[in-house]
Amino acid sequence: MTQVLRGFVASVLGLVLALLPAIASAQDASQDRTAAAIGKDVTVTTKDGAKYKGKLKTLSLTEVVIDQAKADHKFAVRDVQQVQRNSQAMRKGATWGFGIGLGVGVAGMLLVGASDGNGDQSGEEAMLLILTSVGISTGAGAGLGAAFRGSGASRMLYQAPTKTTVSVSPTLGKGKLGIAGTIKW
């Protein structure tokens, strides 16, 4: 029995030592992500389900502070379910697409007018060419922004811990003795 107990303790100790670097690096990545989010748009969801949007001022072990229309809104961490950075990727993609589409449309209009020889292109044709180019490029830019905005997990700054349960029970049988356990998180 002592050999089984020693083996169990050695296994648990080895597992903990193996996971320590991963746990430490995950905390460092979380701290870096939080520091980079200061001043960015976030959504704070409280435990009662209410959502508040604003610019993140501080996120500490005890409180979350966001700036909502020039006024600070403070939340105790015990009342917060999650803090998530808002993605602006779709807006940026649509803006880039609009600019590129406008440039391509104007260039196309100038090229088509110049290739005509006499440059008597109607205003309707030119506007249709520009609007079509802008519409397609804006939609493509927004779609690419949505595709590359990152997962919700990469935008998560704080998630309230879930309830962890640990249960241990003895296992007895004919010629057998052991411990069974479960951990849920």
Please choose, from the candidates 49, 51, 53, the residue with its C-alpha nearest in 3D space to the C-alpha of residue 68: 53
At residue 28, does pLDDT exceed 50?
no
Task: Indicate the SS3 state at residue 94.
Answer: helix
More confident residue, 55 or 23: 55
Q: What is the mean pLDDT of residues 134-148?
A: 84
**pTM attached to this predicted model:** 0.50
More confident residue, 28 or 159: 159
Task: Show Cβ contacts of residue 97 under 8 Å, excluding neighbours closer than 6 positions.
Answer: 137, 138, 139, 140, 141, 142, 144
Q: What's the pLDDT band for 74 if we cut at 50, 70, 90?
A: very high
At residue 51, does pLDDT exceed 90?
yes
87-97 burial by CB neighbour count: b if 16+ within 10 A, else e? bebbeebbebb
Q: What's the pLDDT band for 50 if we cut at 50, 70, 90?
A: very high
Judge contact between 55 and 39, C-beta under 8 A: yes
What is the overall mean pLDDT for the chain? 76
Q: What is the mean pLDDT of residues 30-45?
A: 78
List the domain boundaries for the chain: 2-87+155-184, 89-147
Side-chain half-sphere exposure of 76, counting CA atoms within 13 A: 2
Judge contact between 75 and 44, C-beta under 8 A: yes
Q: What is the pLDDT of residue 90?
A: 82
> Distance between CA 169 and CA 178 in Å, rounded?
9
Q: What is the pLDDT of residue 25?
A: 39
Q: What is the pLDDT of residue 27?
A: 41
Q: Locate tokens 């779609």: which residue? A: 143
Judge contact between 47 and 80, C-beta under 8 A: yes
- What is the topology classification, in CATH, of domain 2-87+155-184? SH3 type barrels. (2.30.30)
Q: Locate tokens 């200061």: which residue? A: 38
